[in-house]
Amino acid sequence: MKRIILLGSTGSIGRNAVAVIKQLKDYRIVGIAAYANYRSLLQQIQDIKPEMVTLLNEKYCRMLKGKVRGVKITCAEEGITEMVESTNADIIICAFSSSISIDAILKAIKKKMRICLATKEILVSFGDIVMREVKKNNVLLIPIDSEHSAIYQCLEGKPREDILRIYLTASGGPFLDKNIKNVKKSDVLKHPVWKMGKKITIDSATMMNKGLEVIEAHHHFNLPTEKIKVVIHPQALCHSLVQFVDGTLLAQVSTPDMKLPIQYALTAPHRLPAPAKYLDIHRVKKLTFQPPNFKKFPCLRLAYEALAVGKSMPAVLNAANAEAVKFFLDDKLRFSDIPKVIQMVMKKHSARQGNVKFYLEAEEWAREEVRRFIC
């Protein structure tokens, strides 16, 4: 029986992970964690019956404690680290919508757990540190992001020196063929293919999501910036491609359903029957690919620039973006101003190499700059 900790259990990825794990015979969730949604967490406690639960928000955590008996409940970030220390888990799924669990992930790596990573912000801000620890401790870090899962699957067993480039596919979001001046929040929150949390849905509309994925891919696959390309593929059936030095392209194609990469992250290199509909290849009318428009979507360009600078710049990009998205969701920032704010913060930052504490401080500085700029 594989014992699993699920961080971000109440979110879109978290709920899909619960559905996947329920139909796997030899896997069991022993710990769950969320941010503030104590009602959903309460339902999950009754449904999953975990050994340990963490709620990051202390006020809601106290309310949860008042309603539950017989389960260990811890509050705040230290609660997750304690969960990693004490549940004797084999696997950790990280699906928080921010890099808040970085300490717990580093601890899980030291404890040699399999790391199934959905939270791209972890590699964007702390990629060098995380991948160094992964290598040192000889653990598996398997992507859940569908594009990285696709690349991971295409690369299995292939020598790295045979890679010419990788192509991360992007559906193009809701504004692929539409004007992005004066868009409404409701339009931004309507993704044409994927049903996801709000933050990643906004990131998909600005294409910052793809930019963060470029940085994530750099760390996952140890590839230089020039070998990581983005290609627009509106049908969202091909989840990414690898081109090898002989010109061959390998692609991973399947129904767009996050249950597939979640299950693969848990069972790789083995495959089990799909927890989602099989793709009927005869119904696929066309697969199209086109280059991205960097002018229309400056966030993508900013992410490439942050990766080229490296050091603390990706952490600054990530935090400035997250804060700008919050202001947009609160109707205090226009959609078209999101990249302008991020660029302004990046221009003010002198990137430096550092440890986790330093990158966390860089993130906090970037958030503060965004607040000062907008308020």
Ligand X SMILES: NC(=O)c1ccc[n+]([C@@H]2O[C@H](COP(=O)([O-])OP(=O)(O)OC[C@H]3O[C@@H](n4cnc5c(N)ncnc54)[C@H](OP(=O)(O)O)[C@@H]3O)[C@@H](O)[C@H]2O)c1
The residues binding ligand X (CB under 6 A) are 8-14, 34-37, 40, 95-98, 100, 118-121, 145, 194, 196-200, 258
Tokens linked to 142? 């398997």
Q: How far is the CB of 320 from ligand X (least distance, A)?
A: 15
- Residue with Cβ nearer ligand X (7 or 155): 7
CB of 350 to ligand X, least distance (A): 27
| In the complex, minimum distance from the CB of residue 25 to ligand X, in angstroms, rounded to a whole number | 25
CB of residue 212 to ligand X, shortest distance in Å: 7
> Nearest-CB residue to ligand X?
11
Q: How far is the CB of 216 from ligand X (least distance, A)?
A: 9
Nearer to ligand X, 202 or 241 (CB): 202
For ligand X, the closer CB: 11 or 339: 11
- Write down the least CB distance from residue 347 to ligand X, Å: 25
Q: Which is nearer to ligand X, 162 or 368 (CB)?
A: 368
Question: Smallest distance from the beta carbon of 368 to ligand X, in angstroms?
Answer: 16
Cβ closer to ligand X: 89 or 352? 89
Residue among 196 and 232 whose Cβ is closer to ligand X = 196
- Rounded to an integer, what distance in angstroms lies between the CA atom of residue 274 and that of residue 78? 36
By C-beta, is 196 or 205 nearer to ligand X? Answer: 196
